[in-house]
Structure 1
Amino acid sequence: MKMKGKWPGLFDKSVLFLILCLWTITSSAQTAQQPDGKAIHQLSAKEAVEYARKNNYQVRKALEDIQIQHQVNREVTSNALPQVNGSAGINHFPQVAVQSFPNFIAMGTYGVLVDQGVKDGSGNTIVAPSDYGLINAQFGTKWTSTIGVSLNQLLFDGQVFVGLQARDAAMSFARKSAEVTEQDVIVNVYKVYFQLLIAKYQLELSHENIARFEKLFHDTREIYKNGFAEKLDVDKVSVTLTNLRTDSLRLKTQMDNGYYGLKLLMGMPIRDSIVLTEDLTEERIKSEILDTAYNYQDRREYQLLEIGKSLNEYNVKRYKMSYLPTLSAVGQLNTAAQRNQFDFFSAGGQWFANSLIGVSINVPIFDGFRKDALIRQAKSAVKKTEFDMEMMKLNIDNEVASSLNTFKAAVYAVDAQRSNMKVAEAVFDQTKLKYDQGLGSNTEITQTQAELRLAQTNYFAALYDATVAKIDYLKAIGKVQ
């Protein structure tokens, strides 16, 4: 049946909202390849979800975040491993630096002369001068070269060790974030898939209504030809039939756009086609929903908060460990050469080796209370996460209660609207029979047909509400798959 009344708005808004969620994936479903390169995918709802899990770009980005975290963990691990570096260098001094220093030669010479009481040519005892002056000399060569290797091994650093302990939690956080993203994909794909199923059923009913009025139009026109009806009656039926066809075309267009949205959610090329193989029945909607027990830990969002709390607690521990000294071992092995000509690689040139082994310790004494501020910030972050967890519990309780309540009301509405639709169909058939027998009017036909369309629209709206409520309930208890 044509989407009218509250159904069109429901279809348009839902599709537009769900299309905004970009999600993807490949399926184990049957796929037929066409000569033009296009593929036809026959998918059940579960197969559509599996396709999205593998192809949705948001999911794939989340999986890349896991790979990034893996590399971050390797980076953290590297801080505890030996750090080995090689170095080499050549320096040229066009003008070797001149250094001035006290004239120790004159000082020594005069010291000996004075001690021995030596006299000068005039017979006077030699007396040391008050200032011996300076010697200006160049020290070094025009070319120097060094080659060496150094090693640094961290022996103790509390922050690094806490980082090593937190690696598993950080990886779990990345994986759980990907699961949350994937969950949103699953929910959106299910909603659009079943929405398209309902739209398909509604389109089939729309064609049935068109067939009814095509027959009514034919009968009315024949009655008019025989002089038992007015031209006005024929025109009224013609207008209604045209409206039905227009509404059916509009519904078909909306459904086609809905398929585009589903492909976008699944990460499927737009040129490919989808055939929905699922059957949506009232029995299926009502099944497997009676168990109202749930556990907060089943929700991926709650699990994510638990891991986040653990990471924040590691931060507190890390900053506390920063008060402890750090200890590391160092070693170096170098060789050097000095030349006045650039002949480092000539035979017979001498290279002089030197090496060292040592241990260094860094003891923090006072940092202006920086560490204390960091610890307090980390503790507050832990507290905020605990508040988030309590808020999440309240949200879960609310989502479970509201979705279950909505589902129960929608199931009741489905039953009521199904009965109402059957009554409307019977009324239309009886009215049509009276009209065929010349006992009814065209106005009655038009009115009962409008009531039938409204009853069908309300039934499908209730069916869609029940489907969405069930999906929302399964998401609320953490059981959507």
Structure 2
Amino acid sequence: MKKFWLSNIAATGMLLLSAVVTAQQKNEFSVKQAVDYAMKNATQVKNALLDVKVQEQVNRQITAAAYPQVNASTGFTHYPNVAVQSLPNFIGPATYQVLIDEAVKNGAGNTITFPSGGFGNIQAQFGVPWTANVGVDVNQLLFDGQVFIGLMARGAVLDYYKKTAEVTQEQIKANVMKIYYQLVVGKSQLASLDANISRFEKLLNDTRQIYKNGFAEKLDVDKVMVQLNNIKTEKEKVVNSLSAGNSGLKFLLGMPQKEELVLSDTLSEAELKDNILNGTYDYKDRKEFQLLTVAEKLGSYNIRRYKLSKLPTVAAFGSYSKNAQRSAFNFFNKDEWFTTSLVGVKISMPLFDGFKKNALIQQSRYELQKTQNSITQLKQNIDYDVEQSRIKMTSVLLTMDNQKQNTELAEKVYNSTKLKYEQGLGNNQEIYNAQTELKVAQTNYYSSLYDAITAKIDWLKAAGKL
């Protein structure tokens, strides 16, 4: 029974462990898949796309200004104490005038006359304790120059945010590709280090055997061991660097760190040399140029907006309401409600604002000139970027070819030196020198390989072809 209970616990533990392992999602991406993932999950891209959605709602607000604005209202008011007003006594004079006209005498037999002290004031309440009203107001903007331009500029403003998002996407794409290929090159370098470790492990075994046979010194064995340890240490550094780079790529992609990221693409020299430095380029292919072109259009709209703000604004309005007055709260009986309605047109004409609008127009012109200057500068930057990337690309490809030849030659030298050593025709120092030259050649080759891919990415971005 106890064994059965323990076996159940073990089985349950294995299931839980399996669930944990399964929960760690594995993502095996090519560079294209990595870019696609970043376009959906990178925070910068998501925020840029949200800016587009925000502007869509702002455009709806601008459109709403051209529609009728309809508002309904209702209310009840109770006056616990109706306001009292003091008024000149207008009843007394009329009454006395009638008595005087009729020659009426007072109790003393004298004819009645106006009092010498006047008639004073009387107090009266105007209104009832309960009032109610319900109504509808309608306002329709007929003409407003700024709203008119705002409606025209909606598409351009939205396009501006879309182009901004595209610029952000292109920057993220370039960074993802550079880090991705940096890790790919690092993996190739790691494979070379593993091969070097295998060579030195074999060399260490051979040297030990030679030492046992009395044809080598203990110092020779120790030197090989030092070299082997150095290569293992270098491998550990590369492994740590690849791990850090993998985490950095996850962060750039917007991928949770707990998920596994595996890179499936490789990098070949033929791929680097394919479809590069051929054909012309067009400024309009650059996302930044497209963005500034839209900004220039918006600058023109801004000038027109301030010019039209000098024109009158015209709006129509109407109102329909009913109100009731009661001595008690009985508005829902059949007593009468009184109707009030009106329609009208309001024209507002700006006469003088201290030349504020003129200043705004001139300011907008200066801003437009700045944008046009930025376009001119961007063209120069594009020409410079393309030319520099071409020069760099040509240089790094030549360097890559040379370093590849150096690596092949260094490997041949190492193999020949090792063979001489095994045949007793060489010494350990020659082996060390050959290995050092091979390692330097390999390091330079992988460095040139990464320089080549980054140069190609920079050229494609400069030419607007990324």
> TM over 0.5: same fold?
yes
How many residues are paired up? 446
- The 5 Å alignment of 1:23-422 reads 36-110=22-96, 116=101, 118=103, 120-121=105-106, 126=113, 131-345=118-332, 347-422=333-408
- Taking the aligned partners of 2:218 and 2:377, their CA distance within structure 1 comes to 68
- Taking the aligned partners of 2:348 and 2:27, their CA distance within structure 1 comes to 65
- Taking the aligned partners of 2:32 and 2:110, their CA distance within structure 1 comes to 121
- Taking the aligned partners of 1:274 and 1:179, their CA distance within structure 2 comes to 26
- 2:3 maps to what in 1? none
Q: CA deviation at 1:340?
A: 2.1
Q: CA deviation at 1:135?
A: 2.8
- In structure 2, give the amino acid aligned to 1:84: V
- Taking the aligned partners of 1:144 and 1:422, their CA distance within structure 2 comes to 101
SS at match of 1:456: helix
Question: In 2, are the aligned partners of 1:117 and 1:126 still within 8 Å (CA)?
Answer: no
- Taking the aligned partners of 2:117 and 2:50, their CA distance within structure 1 comes to 80
- Taking the aligned partners of 1:183 and 1:435, their CA distance within structure 2 comes to 54
Cα pair distance change 1:110/1:446, threshold 3 Å:
same
Question: In 2, are the aligned partners of 1:149 and 1:334 still within 8 Å (CA)?
Answer: yes
- 1:17 maps to what in 2? none
TM-score under structure 1 length normalisation: 0.88
Q: Over residues 202-250 of structure 1, what are the superposed CA-to-partner deviations in whole Å (9 max), with x where a residue is unaligned?
A: 1111111111111110111000000000000000000100111111122
Q: CA deviation at 1:132?
A: 4.5
- Taking the aligned partners of 1:363 and 1:112, their CA distance within structure 2 comes to 57
Deviates most, 85-94 or 167-176 = 85-94
Q: CA deviation at 1:475?
A: 0.5
Q: CA deviation at 1:277?
A: 2.4
Are 1:436 and 2:422 matched, yes or no?
A: yes
Q: CA deviation at 1:76?
A: 0.4
- Taking the aligned partners of 1:327 and 1:135, their CA distance within structure 2 comes to 48
Q: CA deviation at 1:162?
A: 0.7
Deviates most, 439-448 or 70-79 = 439-448
- Taking the aligned partners of 2:374 and 2:252, their CA distance within structure 1 comes to 29
Q: CA deviation at 1:124?
A: 5.1
Cα pair distance change 1:315/1:113, threshold 3 Å:
farther
User: Which among 448, 452, 459 is matched to residue 473 of structure 1?
Assistant: 459
Cα pair distance change 1:124/1:476, threshold 3 Å:
same
- In structure 2, give the amino acid aligned to 1:140: G
Q: CA deviation at 1:459?
A: 0.7
Question: In 2, are the aligned partners of 1:118 and 1:126 still within 8 Å (CA)?
Answer: no
Indicate the RMSD between aligned Cα atoms, in angstroms. Answer: 2.0
- Taking the aligned partners of 1:292 and 1:163, their CA distance within structure 2 comes to 41
Cα pair distance change 1:235/1:366, threshold 3 Å:
same
- Taking the aligned partners of 1:120 and 1:431, their CA distance within structure 2 comes to 155
- Taking the aligned partners of 2:33 and 2:128, their CA distance within structure 1 comes to 78
- Taking the aligned partners of 2:91 and 2:465, their CA distance within structure 1 comes to 95
Q: CA deviation at 1:308?
A: 1.2
- Taking the aligned partners of 1:125 and 1:246, their CA distance within structure 2 comes to 131
- Taking the aligned partners of 2:423 and 2:334, their CA distance within structure 1 comes to 127
SS at match of 1:36: helix
Deviates most, 255-264 or 190-199 = 255-264
- Taking the aligned partners of 1:361 and 1:118, their CA distance within structure 2 comes to 62
SS at match of 1:141: coil
- In structure 2, give the amino acid aligned to 1:236: K
Structure 2: tracts of 5 or more residues without a match: 1-18
Structure 1: tracts of 5 or more residues without a match: 1-32
- Taking the aligned partners of 2:98 and 2:460, their CA distance within structure 1 comes to 105
Deviates most, 330-339 or 471-480 = 330-339
Q: CA deviation at 1:265?
A: 1.7
State, as a whole percentage, how many aligned pairs show the same letter.
48
Question: In 2, are the aligned partners of 1:403 and 1:473 still within 8 Å (CA)?
Answer: yes
- Taking the aligned partners of 1:411 and 1:464, their CA distance within structure 2 comes to 11
Q: After the TM superposition, which segments of 4 or more aligned residues of structure 1 sit over 6 Å from their partners? A: none
- In structure 1, give the amino acid aligned to 2:390: L
Question: In 2, are the aligned partners of 1:111 and 1:128 still within 8 Å (CA)?
Answer: no
Question: In 2, are the aligned partners of 1:117 and 1:125 still within 8 Å (CA)?
Answer: no
Question: In 2, are the aligned partners of 1:120 and 1:126 still within 8 Å (CA)?
Answer: no
- Taking the aligned partners of 2:53 and 2:97, their CA distance within structure 1 comes to 77
TM-score under structure 2 length normalisation: 0.91
- Taking the aligned partners of 2:449 and 2:287, their CA distance within structure 1 comes to 28
SS at match of 2:23: coil
Q: Over residues 303-330 of structure 1, what are the superposed CA-to-partner deviations in whole Å (9 max), with x where a residue is unaligned?
A: 1111112112211111111111111111
User: Which among 439, 442, 449 is matched to residue 463 of structure 1?
Assistant: 449
- In structure 1, give the amino acid aligned to 2:328: Q
Question: In 2, are the aligned partners of 1:144 and 1:337 still within 8 Å (CA)?
Answer: yes
